[in-house]
Amino acid sequence: MTLRAQEAIAKGQAPRKIQHWVPLGHISPDLRRAVLIAEDDAFFQHEGVDFTQLRLSLKVDWARGSFSRGASTITQQLAKNLYLSPSKNPLRKFRELVITRRLEAELSKDRILELYLNVIEWGDGIYGIEAASQTYYHRPAASLGPSEAALLAGAIINPRLLNPAHPTKRLLRRQKLILQRMRSGVPAGTRKPSEPKLEPPIEKEEEKLDDPKLGEEKPGDEKPEDQEELLERPIKE
């Protein structure tokens, strides 16, 4: 939020912030499921770092000769959003890992997910699922259905470019993939070797569907690194 405010001021614009905090119980189960599928399909299994995806990410990046494929878990994203700068230097990444492990040690998974869904960016000046739901659908987050949830979850990867109000072909493809997994019957956030429907990650499937003639943003684009202000709400339960 702080970074976005600084960017707006630098452009001579007034910072924009829309955020309405809601407890996890007031967020649609479909939305929670869609976000877990899109962002962290082993959320309830790892302790903050998904080493399976981390190894895969390093392998893909090595083959590509670039560091473009993200492997951050929901807890890692929360640590970055709450406490860290947008820098990608090794020290910042180390601090992210330390904070991630502390969050996992002190908070329940439900609390981590609640915090995450209330602070992540969902468009220009739009933070948290309640603000996103009211902005794009004019109703509370508790009432979101599968289709709307999948579209919102698909936009998290790059919320400044993927707009649920005006979905690109790429966002619609992501929505379709997420919906397919939502209907699979596999519990979200619990990846298992015997349940290959959660593999490979959304981004990997999406690359196979991308048409370079579409002229849209390239697959693999990461959501912008963001420096979030420390929440005024106490983080301990």
pTM of the model: 0.75
- Which residues have CB under 8 Å from 68's CB, separation 6+? 61, 220, 221, 222
SS3 state of residue 126: strand
What's residue 217's pLDDT? 41
What are the distances in angstroms from CA 195 to CA 45, 67, 68, 178?
A: 14, 28, 27, 15
Which pLDDT tens digit goes with each residue over 47-101?
Answer: 888 777 666 655 655 565 544 445 689 999 999 999 887 677 788 888 999 999 9
- Structure confidence at residue 174 as a pLDDT band (50, 70, 90): very high
The full set of domains in the chain, from first to last, is 2-44+55-193 (1.10.3810.10)
- C-alpha–C-alpha distance, residues 154 and 175, integer Å: 6
- Its sign, for the CA torsion 66, 71, 74, 77, is negative
Q: Two tokens at 68?
A: 């473009």
What's residue 184's pLDDT? 82
- C-alpha–C-alpha distance, residues 109 and 103, integer Å: 9
Instruction: Say if CB 225 and CB 89 are below 8 A apart.
Output: no
